[in-house]
Amino acid sequence: MNEQQYREAEGVNYSLLKQFSISPDHAALSMSKEQKFSDTTLNSFRLGHCFEYAMYPGQSNKLAPIPESINRRTKKGKEEFSNFLQFCEENKKTQVSQSELFQLICMAENAKRQDYLFDDIESWMKRADKQGSIEKPIFWKKGKIEKKCLVDFMIKDECCGNIHVFDLKTMAGDSDKFRWRFKDGYWIQAVHYLEGVKSLYPDHEVYFNFVVGHKDPPYVCKIWEVSPKTIESLQENYESLVDRFYLWKESGCYTYGGLDHGIL
């Protein structure tokens, strides 16, 4: 199953739950519109996909750097660029500038050499590739709700049987700001993905980690492990969110046009 087939498959994913946590209107909008990308500018969503291509074994060839010889200010250059975009579309490649390619390579190289337990991330990823667990789609049902997630990569440790789940992220600024981003919505992803993985491995310990590549020089990387204690503390909030989403969806996906009352 490719990513497009996964996105078209039935099931509530993390992104939809996160949008609903902001407001029902955000969830309704997310369900009705497709994400649009700029042709030449790496927005945060598209950068994340490019970072994955740079990280995954054998997938860096999905990145197509725009030839420096193309001058889009001339008629000839515009034609060459149009042909280049057509080539990318036909071959399912993502166009990036030369500077963006350098950025992605630096981010990926730094991330791959980060240590996790007894090995580096690149070695963990190679084991995941052998186990067929890169971009692993998972579908499960909890109560009346069909759910799904797409794990970036996961590994079953043959030594002790533990499952290690990794999600690739990108960010700018101080690394500790990731704590805020976790509280702002990534916590939903951690609990959601762990529930999905545990549906496959109910008798195994499962650990969730964010591998965060920084978009700014010197393109450092930091691994954030979500502790089991944190997951346990968030479980009730997650189940409440899912219940409210289910009731909202069953009632016809109504919208309010506003957010909850705030106090400063």
Q: Which structural domains are found in the chain, ordered by start?
A: 1-34+117-259 (3.90.320.10), 37-112 (no CATH)
For residue 211, how far is the Cα from the chain centroid? 10
Q: For residue 199, give the amino acid letter.
A: S
Residuewise pLDDT in 10s, the chain (264 residues): 777 788 889 999 999 999 999 999 999 988 875 444 444 455 666 888 999 999 999 999 999 999 999 999 999 999 999 999 999 999 999 999 999 999 999 999 999 999 999 899 999 999 999 999 999 999 999 988 999 999 999 999 878 889 999 999 999 988 889 999 999 999 999 999 999 999 999 999 999 999 999 999 999 999 999 999 999 999 999 999 999 999 999 999 888 888 888 898
* Contact between 206 and 200 (Cβ < 8 Å): no
Q: At what angle do helices 187-200 and 228-250 cross, to 10 degrees?
A: 90
Neighbours of 184 (CB within 10 A): 12
Q: What sign for the dihedral angle of Cα 73, 77, 79, 80?
A: negative
* Three-class secondary structure of residue 41 per DSSP: coil
Q: For residue 38, give the amino acid letter.
A: S
Bridge pairing between strands 63-65 and 206-214: unpaired
In the chain, the N- to C-terminal Cα span, in Å, equals: 47
Bridge pairing between strands 206-214 and 163-171: parallel
